[in-house]
Amino acid sequence: MLAATPPIQMLRPQALPVKFIAVGALSAALNVPCGMWREHTEKFSVQWIIAVHASIPFIALLRKAVIMPKIAIACTIACAVAGQTLGARLERERLHKAAAIDENGGVQPMPSGSKAEQVTASEDLVRLQASARKAGRRKRASKDTSAVALQSSGSVTERTAENGAGHFDLGLPLCDGSPQWLTEVVSKMEGFKQHFSQPLVVSS
């Protein structure tokens, strides 16, 4: 009955490696759900034995329908064992995740070293580096501003000490290169200051 199906009729005239690949892949795929079922049974129990050997009759019929040599038995057994192992591992991981969700109150925990944690850590590192650069720029700008202010105040004090001996203090000390008209104005204002600073004498 199996040999009369169209897929078997198409596979039968193919080359031997193609038959090995097709039969091995089908054997592994059939044993994945059997391995998942085996994970829920007690070892060497009746259900465990049925889960392990459930796919053997179908794979034997398939091997005979495709007309494969006896060496294909070892290939199909190896593929069946691989499918059983894969199915059991997948079911075990699923059970572990379900248990973790139940322990955390329905919240699935994020595994350590996951991509989300790596992305978050890299974003935090970028933010810290940007903040450090901004703080460094502000500190350098503050230092430069303080240095310029100190230099300016020092030069103004020196010019005032040099030129303030014979000039009236207007809040803007005169420099050596001041215009002549400004010097005359300051001299006149100094004369007014000296005149009004003299004591007033009232004749009786």
In the prediction, which pLDDT does 140 show? 78
In the prediction, which pLDDT does 165 show? 43
For 131-159, what is the mean pLDDT?
A: 67
Residue 151's pLDDT band (cuts 50, 70, 90):
low
Weakest-pLDDT range from 35-44, 143-152, 169-178: 169-178
| % pLDDT > 70, the chain | 66
Quote the CA–CA distance of 91 and 51 in Å, as a whole number. 14
Does position 94 have pLDDT exceeding 80, yes or no? yes
Structure tokens at 26: 């089908």
For 67-75, what is the mean pLDDT?
A: 92
In the prediction, which pLDDT does 101 show? 83
In the prediction, which pLDDT does 72 show? 92
Cβ neighbors of 26 (< 8 A, separation 6 or more) are 59, 62
Single pTM value for the model: 0.51
Signed CA dihedral, 45, 51, 57, 60: sign only: negative
In the prediction, which pLDDT does 142 show? 74
In the prediction, which pLDDT does 201 show? 52
Quote the CA–CA distance of 95 and 88 in Å, as a whole number. 11
Better-scored residue on pLDDT, 92 or 197: 92
Q: How close are the terminal C-alpha atoms of the chain, in Å?
A: 153
pLDDT tens, position by position, 30-53 = 999 999 999 999 999 999 999 999
Weakest-pLDDT range from 13-27, 47-61, 135-149: 135-149
Burial class (CB within 10 angstroms; exposed 0-12, middle 13-18, buried 19+) of 133:
exposed
DSSP string for 120-163? HHHHHHHHHHHHHHHHHHHHHHHHHHHHHHHHHHHHHHHHHHHH
Better-scored residue on pLDDT, 173 or 13: 13
What is residue 12's DSSP assignment?
A: T
Assess contact for 34 and 90: CB atoms under 8 A.
Answer: no
Assess contact for 11 and 64: CB atoms under 8 A.
Answer: no
3-state SS assignment for residue 70: coil
Length of the chain: 204
For 59-85, what is the mean pLDDT?
A: 93
